[in-house]
A and B are shown apart, each in its own frame.
Chain A
């Protein structure tokens, strides 16, 4: 068998997703650039050179570079890197999970050649995504007749592609060593998030600033490629890392036994057979878990929720308090230098106050991602997941209606998203105590409640899409797409008063415009989010009732 067949098949399976993501980001970029262009360049005229440089705004450009920074620097790069991780984790470990690797290797292809083919497919797909983003970035200013000035969009796209590839290859390497898709996708995704967050924060703290060199993300935008063009040194670091990862993958894959479709032995399994722990653990991992559809569903997602909740609690909550206390002076100085318009521009967050700091660092992007991620994954799999794994037929051969299955699963979504909300609350409240920031506890609770409701609104959408189509992919990508689009919409609506009406359609408006950390709970906003969640979720029921269930 020619390894070209493996490359072709893998690319064929995935290219649509990569292209759809790239085109969507391209469209958002177009939209963003139009908004920035509309606002005009006045904001930058009075800005000191040093601050323009910090912002990554090159000479003679404004709208374009800001749009590029938001769309490529954040949304585009995280999306492409996320896709690369998903593709990389599927490369070897995914084939083992599906039990297809045996058949693949029954052909005259060595493990090394299969791995090479998978890496080649990853390079092709990530390259394709990078090219599409680059194309969209070049096209947008032409279509809108916007002056781009001395920006290096090509360099940005190249850096973005290489950093995505690096994370994808890390997933390949972990998958090759362990044969497990879980760690292969979770570890690089976690690194992505941690390194994205820390790359923004660490340079502000003089004592730990050099640590930033350990973060892969630093080599993506540390050199500000949009402003300064390609940084050969940084790219070389990422490419060298990529080569090392490929070599490690090859070594790891060759030396171990391939996994069948078998499952690993978890800690709970060991404890269940342990004579002393048996009684308690068997109750927890056994009889409680299978006591109802809801309990079993919750148990299925416990790992995801645990990881997300601990990350939000520890890193985005607890850690941020002392961090802010440590650099409060720096933040105040920085804020004093910035013109008022610019503050409005970055979303009005006054980073010199703890509320503003938490709002932009924790509640701005990472906490919504966590809540929406948990809500979307659990909701999308509620019915569609059981259809995909062909277990729904057996489940519904029992005297339970489709309605009850959906209702029990929906209740699990509420509980698990509430866990994320609780972790966020505990993290920020703890961080405030540790850093001695004296933030209002009820206001923190209000912010966490709005976060939960935001997650549930998107959970409702995922539940609806999954119930209506029976496809996990449509439910997940559809919801994530709407989440990104409405996030961006709300961001731009803050800048352009003419978009304000449209911005009211975004759940994010109701999540953050009331500034809950400063003003407490805005009941009206909470009500709107709750209504969104309820309307979407209740529409799921008749749609599920009406259709044929899918077969694998």
Chain B
């Protein structure tokens, strides 16, 4: 348990710079449904923390609890050392937020929307707003209700970044952005981190997280399955392996191999993810006969992610 002795809610050891986010046993039940189960999590300052999970796994519930929109059934959390419930208003001076289910006031233009939030927040440098709008090529003169999903998302991103918050809580922020804008957005996140500030990036697409995140937490059915550095995740020896044969190939012997997943065979082309004994794999391939080509790729997080799920489901 975290002692509450310090006025800012931090412990002795971290009184200088408390964690960006710290959750302890954070649990949320809706009746019999367990949306979040005993979440223990620490997000360091100055990192991009990727929060990964499929739809409905509890990502948004976590963020909404951190923002005090909903109250935990059990457990507690701090943001920048402040209690998420008791000091929620003070916390909100220091954060930027993009909700997963984005909705803004349709009758306001992008500029009016940003002015409105800037008035509520105070201390927003309008030059910075213009700069962000330029980078994201956002049209601020049109009414939000008339913007496409991607263009509306740009307005939401600007409002999250505009007061240079210490912590950005971004729930599926990429939706609707084209690849060029996604890249610009990734640069913006990198700059935040270079500045010593923190990004909490929730997503179900691993590829977007793996480019910017330092560490990744994987959540499933409301439980945090794993927290690992992106580098160490990659170092898990999962390989994407392609084998080409002269004729049609039977996938059964490959599926039987320990460490083989997602085996797919079409004619003479067989693809699988593999973290087992390479010699055994090659032996099976040779025994099949007619092996013409072997290619291996470093697995992306997607496959590692699926591997995690796969293991969980087996258990």
Contact = CB atoms under 8 A, between A and B. Distances in A.
Interface string B105-126: 1111101110111011110000
A262 interface: yes
A401 interface: yes
By DSSP majority rule, is chain B's interface helix, strand, loop, or mixed? mixed
| Most-contacted residue by chain B among A262, A291, A393, A397 (CB, 10 A) | A397
A293 B69 contact: no
Interface in B76-102: 88-90, 92-93, 95-97, 99, 101-102
Nearest to B116: A290
B143 interface: yes
Query: Which of B96, B109, B120 gathers the greatest number of chain A CB atoms within 10 Å?
Result: B120
A551 B121 contact: no
A399 B106 contact: no
Contacts of A393: 64, 67, 69, 97, 99, 101
Interface residues of A, number: 30
Nearest to A392: B69
Contacts of B120: 292-293, 395, 398-400
B258 interface: no
A255 interface: no
Nearest to B106: A263
B104 A391 contact: yes
B268 interface: no
B92 A263 contact: no
Given A286-B112, A290-B115, A393-B67, A399 B90 contact: yes
Interface in B39-83: 60, 64, 67-71
Contact of B97 (A287, A291, A397): A397
A341 interface: no
- Size bracket of the B interface: 35 or more
B70 A549 contact: yes
Interface string A517-552: 000000000000000000000000000000011011
Given A394-B104, A401-B89, A263 B69 contact: no
A263 B143 CA distance: 8
A12 interface: no
B195 to A, nearest CB: 20
A396 B67 contact: yes
Interface in A85-121: none
A390 interface: yes
B167 to A, nearest CB: 11
Interface in A471-520: none
B103 interface: yes
A398 B121 contact: yes
B71 A548 contact: yes
B115 A286 contact: yes
Given A263-B143, A263-B145, A548-B70, A394 B115 contact: no
Nearest to A299: B107
A552 B101 contact: yes
B82 to A, nearest CB: 12
A389 interface: yes
Contact of A397 (B67, B103, B108): B67
Contact of A394 (B103, B111, B143): B103
Interface in B119-161: 119-122, 143, 145-146, 156, 159
Contacts of A261: 106, 145
Given A262-B146, A390-B103, A397-B92, A548 B121 contact: no
A549 B105 contact: no
Contacts of B115: 286-287, 290
Interface in A387-421: 389-401
B104 A290 contact: no
Contact of B116 (A269, A296, A390, A551): A296
A218 interface: no
A391 B117 CA distance: 12
B100 to A, nearest CB: 9
Contacts of A49: none
A351 to B, nearest CB: 45
A390 B99 CA distance: 9
A480 B187 CA distance: 53
A300 interface: yes
A399 B112 contact: no
For the complex of A and B, the 3 pairs showing the least CB-CB separation, nearest first, are A290-B116, A397-B97, A390-B103
Interface of B: 60, 64, 67-71, 88-90, 92-93, 95-97, 99, 101-109, 111-113, 115-117, 119-122, 143, 145-146, 156, 159, 169
5 contacts: A390-B103, A393-B64, A393-B99, A396-B92, A400-B120
